[in-house]
Homo-oligomer: A and B are copies of this chain.
């Protein structure tokens, strides 16, 4: 079960892991299963855990005053689920994170995670890379959002993330893109001609 995680860390660090280090990591991460629709984090709570997805799919979203959900993040295998803002600032989260499919996770406390960053250099490297990439991805998405029409945004997204298109229903993709499901439906109809 921890195999995937260790492999992931090795891939994202330059130096190899000693067996002591592996033990520390394994000790920090507990397996956990979530059934479809179960919460990993609920709005209003401080995010105390970080989850590495071994199998399954999840989503992070906010809910506005009208009760509409807005997807800020979609997760599949080898993604890290958490609300970084809440976890780092220790503030109540504005987001929910729940399982879209039945999901297997490896879960660590945020505090243990911070510990590992200090004690295991490869782990520190890996999280640094993660942080940088997350920023890059969200910067791209932001640029796409402020620069393009809904149609182009969908095209770009479909090109760059075909896995997501297959895995999540259209109305979630629409929400992720900041448009309604009806608009996305019409865009796709147009494009298919």
Contact = CB atoms under 8 A, between A and B. Distances in A.
B85 A146 contact: no
Report copies per complex.
2
Contact of A134 (B94, B135, B145, B176): B135
Contacts of A70: 143, 146-147
A160 interface: no
Interface in A5-52: none
A136 interface: yes
22 contacts: A62-B143, A70-B146, A72-B139, A72-B142, A72-B143, A72-B146, A84-B136, A84-B139, A85-B140, A94-B143, A128-B128, A131-B135, A135-B138, A138-B138, A138-B139, A138-B142, A141-B142, A142-B142, A145-B178, A146-B175, A146-B176, A146-B177
Interface of A: 62, 64, 70-72, 84-85, 88-89, 94, 128, 131-132, 134-136, 138-143, 145-147, 175-178
A138 B62 CA distance: 15
Contacts of A88: 132, 136
Interface SS of A by simple majority? helix
Given A131-B135, A135-B134, A141-B142, A147 B84 contact: no
